[in-house]
Amino acid sequence: MVVGDVMLDRYWFGRVDRISPEAPVPVVAVGETQERPGGAANVAGNVTALGASCILISVIGNDESGAKLTTLLNAQGVDCRLNKDPETSTTVKLRVMSHNQQLMRLDFESPPSHEILERCLEDYKAALSDVDIVLFSDYGKGGLAHMAKMISLAREAELNVIVDPKGRDYERYRDASMVTPNRTEFEDLVGVCDSSDVLSDRAHRLIREYGFDSLLLTRSEEGVSLYRSDGTELHCAAMAREVYDVTGAGDTVIAALAAALAAGADDEDALTLANTAAGIVVGKLGTASASRYEIEQAIQMTELT
């Protein structure tokens, strides 16, 4: 089950041939548009792309963007349990692109109402008995107001809980099985780490402070590192391929990791799978997913080399 902040990612592609006479800005002649699930919705889509089943609980507006997002998710095989909030609008990120370069991003968002969040909590309670693992995708849009209660309920049900965090308030993630910050987010919380030893020390200190079982740190070109409460660590080097776009790569990591762990994989195999999937999606434009076939091919190529 994926719970968190969903959004619709819109892309407007066009060419730039001139500068506006009204202001010193490029004029984009839009020729193509695309729409894709974003945020927690992208996480859910990545889960189903691997062949796993996924329940998605979140909030959308009673609007065209919410309807479009629901249609896209249904096409990906996601079990959508999206509560429509008439008092808010679906979060939309609009990116204006030219020659595969992002010129501008426009965000449209508003927080969900208290009543709708209570409905999400009830949906969550009802779904717990149907899932093997719970994944929280926090984008700071207000959809996880009941995070602490949800984590407690999942742990009582003896389910592993993975959290993709946002911001510096880790108290709300207390007792999660695993948190998955990237290095920038991690250092914003604990301070700059100028060596692997410092990084390790502060990761284990954070695990002890908040009662996590482990912490997965995504380290960009340095790969990924898993720090565990028993003091052991696993490190996986980055995939050696050209980086095209890192948008949504973190979503792919946690989706692949959760799917692998839910299927019974050990930490090492799950980490390898997640790292391989991330290496695939950074070679694609925008929010994307890695299929089972693509991952199998990438692993075979790695073994051959």
Residues known to be catalytic:
251
AA identity, residue 286: G
3-state class of 49 per DSSP? helix
Q: Is 293 exposed, middle or buried (0-12, 13-18, 19+ CB in 10 A)?
A: exposed
Characterize the bridge pairing of strands 133-137 and 2-4. parallel
Contact at 8 Å (CB) between 180 and 274?
no
Concatenate the DSSP letters of all residues of 251-292 into one string.
HHHHHHHHHHHHTT--HHHHHHHHHHHHHHHTTSSSS----H
Strands of the chain, DSSP E: 2-4, 6-19, 26-39, 55-61, 79-85, 92-98, 101-108, 133-137, 160-164, 178-179, 214-218, 224-228, 233-236
Cα 239 to its chain centre, rounded Å, is 19
CA distance 40 to 5: 5
Q: Which position has the token pair 């490190």?
A: 235
Asked if residue 175 lies in contact with residue 151, where contact means CB atoms within 8 angstroms, the answer is yes
